[in-house]
Structure 1
Amino acid sequence: MKHLSRLLLASLFIFGLTNTVSAQDENNPWTVSIGTNAVDSYPANEDHKFQEFFNVDNWNILPSVSRISVGRYVGAGFSAELAGSINRLDNIDKQPVDDLTYYAIDGAVNYSFRQFINEEGWFDPFLGVGGGYTWVDEEGNGTVNGTLGFNFWFTDNIAFNLQSTYKHSLDDKNEGGFRHFQHVAGIKIAFGGTDTDGDGIYDDEDECPETPGLAEFNGCPDSDGDGIPDKEDACPDQAGPAEFNGCPDTDGDGIADPDDDCPTVAGLESMNGCPDSDGDGIKDGDDNCPNEAGPRENDGCPYEDRDNDGVLDKDDQCPDVAGTKANNGCPEVTVEIINELNEYSKTILFDLNKATIRTESYDALESIAEIMDEYPNTVFHIEGHTDSSGSDSYNLKLSKERAASVRDYLVNKENIDTDRVTSEGYGETRPIATNKTEAGRQKNRRVEVSLEKNRD
Structure 2
Amino acid sequence: MNTWSITGYGGITKFFGDIKEYDFKLGQNEKLTGGWGLSVNKQLSPIFGIQLTGFNGQLQGSKQGHYSSLSGNTYDVFFNSPSFVQVTLDGTMNLNRLLFGYKKLRRWKVDAHLGGGIIYYHTDLTATNTNPESPFFGTEWKVSTNTDGSSKTSGEWERNGSTYTREWVVPAGLAVHYELTPRFDLGLDFTYNYVNTEKMDATVGGLSDYQSQQGIWTFAKGESKNDGWGMASIALTYKLGKNAVRAKKGVYDAGSGRYHLRWANPQSLIPVPYNPTMDDADSIAKANMPKPVDPRLYTDSDGDGVADLFDKEANTPAGSVVSGGGVAMDLDKIIRDAIKNNLPKDECEALFSNIEFDTDKAIIRNPSKETLSKVVELLNMRTNCRIVLVGHTDARASDSYNVALSRRRVDAAKRFLVRAGLTDPSRIIAEYYGEYRPIAENTTVEGLQSNRRVEIKILPNNTIRSSYPAGFRR
Normalised TM-score (structure 1) = 0.38
Choose between structure 1 and 2: higher strand proportion: 2
Normalised TM-score (structure 2) = 0.37
Which structure has more relative contact order (CA 8 Å, sep 6+)? It is 2
Structure exhibiting the larger radius of gyration computed from Cα positions: 1
